[in-house]
Amino acid sequence: MAVDFNSQYHALLLKQVPVGARRALDVGCGTGRFARLLAERGLDVEGIDGNAEVIEAARAAGGGPHYRNADIREHQLPDARYDFISCIASLHHMPFETVLTLRKALAPEGVLAVVGLYPARTPADFVCALPALTLLKADRLLSRRRAAPSVQVPVVWPPPLTYAETRAEAARLLPGSTLRRLLLWRYLLLYRA
C-alpha cells in the first residue's frame, strides 16, 4: 500500500486538541509526521515509538518534537502531564489496557484521541467498509507509479479487537469516552479527562 491512509485523519485529530493545550504525546509516532503538525501549532511535543528505524527517520526530519525509542508499555510516563495524547494506528500493536497508562498521563481537561483499526467481521462492518473499497482499488492502481517508502512500518493485521469489543473495552476502561466508525476499518476513540 503506497498511500498512508492514517494521515487522512490528521485534520480530524487536530480538531480534538483542547484550546490552550501546551504539551502533547504522540504514541506510536512512526516517522513523526503528526507530531510535527502538533509542534507547528505551538505545542511541546514528545513522540514515542518502539521501532528504532522510524524514530531515526523522525529525528532526521526535524521539526521540533522530541522523539524517544521506547515501548510505551515499559516506559514510565509522568502523571497528569499531557494536554493531548494521540495514538494513530498504534493501539492495536499493544494490549488495549495500555489506555489506562495514557489516561493517567492526561492533564485535567486533557484529551486522548485514538485512530484505531478493527477487523471486518460483522455484516455492519462489511457495509461500513464498502466506500473504502473504491479507495483501495485506486491506491493499487496508483501505487504502481510510486516509489516504495524509505522506512517500512510493521503491519499488524488483523487487529486483535473487533469494533464491538473495542466499544466494550473503552466503556470499561475509559468511562464517558466516545467511539465512532471511520473509513478504512478505522475508528475514532475520544476520552476527555
Residue 147 has pLDDT above 60, yes or no: no
Q: What pLDDT does residue 142 have?
A: 55
Question: Burial of 16 by CB count in 10 Å (0-12 exposed, 13-18 middle, 19+ buried)?
Answer: middle
Residue 145 has pLDDT above 70, yes or no: no
Residue 138 lies in a domain: no
List of residues 6+ apart from 35 with CB closer than 8 A:
24, 26, 29, 45, 46, 47, 58, 63, 65, 67
Residue 57 lies in a domain: yes
What confidence tens digit (pLDDT) does each residue in 82-124 have?
999 999 999 999 999 999 999 999 999 999 999 999 988 888 8
Residue 67 lies in a domain: yes
Residue 45 lies in a domain: yes
Q: What pLDDT band is residue 1 in, cutting at 50, 70 and 90?
A: very low
Considering only 73-87, 135-149, 154-168, which range has the smallest mean pLDDT? 135-149
Residue 59 lies in a domain: yes
Q: Write out the residue range of the structural domain in which residue 51 sits.
A: 19-119+151-192
Residue 12 lies in a domain: no
Indicate the pairing of strand 186-192 with strand 106-117: antiparallel
Predicted TM-score of the model (pTM):
0.87
Count of structural domains within the chain: 1
From residue 118, alpha-carbon distances to 25, 30, 93, 156, 190 in Å are 23, 20, 12, 11, 16
Which domain CATH number covers 64? 3.40.50.150
